[in-house]
Amino acid sequence: MTALKNDRFLRALLKQPVDVTPVWMMRQAGRYLPEYRASRARAGGFMDLCMNAEMACEVTLQPLERYPLDAAILFSDILTIPDAMGLGLYFETGEGPRFRKVVDTAEAIDALPIPDPEKDLGYVMNAVRTIRKELNGRVPLIGFAGSPWTLATYMVEGGSSKDFRKSKALLYDDPQAMHVLLDKLAQSVTSYLNAQILAGAQAVQIFDSWGGSLSSAAYQEFSLAYMQKIVNGLIREHEGRRVPVILFTKGGGLWLESMADTGVEALGIDWTCDMGVARKRVGDKVALQGNMDPTVLYANPTAIEKEVGRILESYGSGPGHIFNLGHGITPEVKPENAGAFINAVHDLSAKYHQG
């Protein structure tokens, strides 16, 4: 087991003292980087990149070669589980992910298998092992999965959706069928994340991208309850240290207290939440990750630094803050602006960690 040279990300997740606020970006290996676009073109397509361990490793490490980031995140996709269930994931140019088969009846849900992570998703575990080896203790590696509700929306809709019409119709018309689907997905995500941890992921994040589309009652019953099942089933100690869990519901600011009660180490929060208010609401129960609006990165470096400073001041002194965007970095961002953001976090945060 290689010792970590930079463990401030893991320390911050556990609310332990750090020298500066750690920072990473959701989608940090992505289309805003010209070297990523070149790798993807060489691979032939997005899933070709995901399924080749060496190339997935290459693009995972690309942002770390450019920037002093405090964590690497596995290069993969949240929709690998539905793909392994036989739905046939593909990517339509300009339209995002699509499935060849949809799951919109109780019969189709009953027929879904629960994937074996090493057998059916072995390419992901190979990527984790390869990346962890290549990192050689440089920074921690984050594994991840989509939340059951988020995965269910793609499976029922056949792809992304603006209004989740089919998913919500199924939820209200046949709640029992939706519960069966979500339970299968919770089992699948739990075994998938545990396999990532055993392969070398040192922290994991659950991406509940579409939980914020639900009513408050529906969120508790159809999203949070299944994330709670996952949290309860995860390996929390590996290689002699805690494996922190981050729960991120986009649009989830209404439910921070309920999310903090799940037993995770940290909550990711989007830019609609004030960081200082969020800290007051959850107290010392969890660390907080976030939460700059990704579109700030379209502005000039001086404006970016100002917003970083505002968020750091809002959180205040002491540990328990991991700086991130409130959602993923967008493809049109200039790489030098991302660099200004990362440097600003480290430069401006030291004063909040003294004494």
Non-local (6+) Cβ contacts of 332 within 8 A are: 32, 298
What crossing angle do the helices spanning 122-135 and 175-199 adopt, rounded to 10°? 40
Q: Is 11 a catalytic residue?
A: no
Check the annotation: does 279 bind a ligand: no
Is 40 in the active site? yes
Q: Please indicate if the annotation marks 77 as binding a ligand.
A: yes
The one catalytic residue among 11, 27, 98, 132 = 27
Distance separating alpha carbons of residues 181 and 101, to the nearest angstrom? 15
Catalytic hit among 40, 138, 242, 281: 40
Contact 109/184 with Cβ under 8 angstroms? yes
CA distances from residue 216 to 116, 207, 211, 222, 254 in whole angstroms, order as listed: 33, 18, 10, 10, 8
Amino acid at 259: M
Query: Has 179 been labeled as part of a binding site?
Result: no
Give me the catalytic one of 66, 77, 293, 298: 77
Query: Is 226 marked as binding a ligand?
Result: no
For residues 31 and 46, give the distance between their C-alpha atoms in angstroms, rounded to a whole number.
11
Q: Quote the strand ranges of the chain, DSSP E.
A: 72-73, 89-92, 96-99, 141-146, 203-208, 237-238, 241-242, 245-249, 266-268, 287-292, 321-325
Active-site residue, selected from the candidate residues 154, 192, 219, 315: 154
Is 27 annotated for ligand binding?
yes
Q: Which residues neighbour 285 within 8 Å (Cβ) at sequence distance 6 or greater?
A: 260, 261
31 flagged as catalytic: yes
d(CA 64, CA 41): 20
29 carries a ligand binding annotation: yes
Please provide the DSSP assignment of 201-270 as one string: -SEEEEEETTGGGS-HHHIIIIIIHHHHHHHHHS--EETTEE--EEEEETT-GGGHHHHHTT--SEEE--
Question: Do 166 and 157 meet the contact criterion of CB atoms below 8 Å apart?
Answer: yes
DSSP state letter for 294 = G
Question: Does 42 carry a binding-site annotation?
Answer: no
Please tell me which residue in 31, 66, 138, 281 is annotated as part of the active site: 31
- How many C-beta atoms lie closer than 10 Å to residue 177's C-beta? 20
Judge whether 31 is annotated as a binding position: yes
> What are the binding residues for substrate?
27-31, 77, 154, 209, 327
> What are the binding residues?
27-31, 77, 154, 209, 327
Q: What positions carry a catalytic annotation?
A: 27, 31, 40, 77, 154
